[in-house]
Amino acid sequence: DTEVTQTPKHLVMGMTNKKSLKCEQHMGHRAMYWYKQKAKKPPELMFVYSYEKLSINESVPSRFSPECPNSSLLNLHLHALQPEDSALYLCASSQDGSGRGRETQYFGPGTRLLVL
């Protein structure tokens, strides 16, 4: 089973709202990722968690706040977003983030976010 699930599939929010995106995997992976993808562009890495600890923050604005409650779950808390934050938000997971062997990332279906 190489499934990563994400909820919700679609989200519309105003600039003053607070919302959360959720991601779950049951592959026993210890590294989880958040990406942002704009139309016709490749995914851009936002955050990496390894063993439930934040290991990479790619200079993401503080209005995006990640959380990793346990090894299977990853959340992205959203607050005071801007219209330019509208995008497809992808979650991914991999074995442990070390890159040893043939470790690779498996992506979820994404949450399509629209900020009005």
Residues that bind another protein (CB under 8 A): 2, 4, 6, 31, 33, 40-43, 45, 48, 50, 55-56, 88, 90, 94-100, 102-110, 112
Cβ proximity to another protein: between 61 and 99 the closer is 99
What minimum distance in Å lies between the beta carbon of 34 and another protein?
11
What minimum distance in Å lies between the beta carbon of 70 and another protein?
19
Using alpha carbons, select from 56, 46, 20, 35 the residue that is nearest to residue 108. 35
Cβ proximity to another protein: between 64 and 97 the closer is 97
CB 85, CB 115: distance < 8 Å: yes
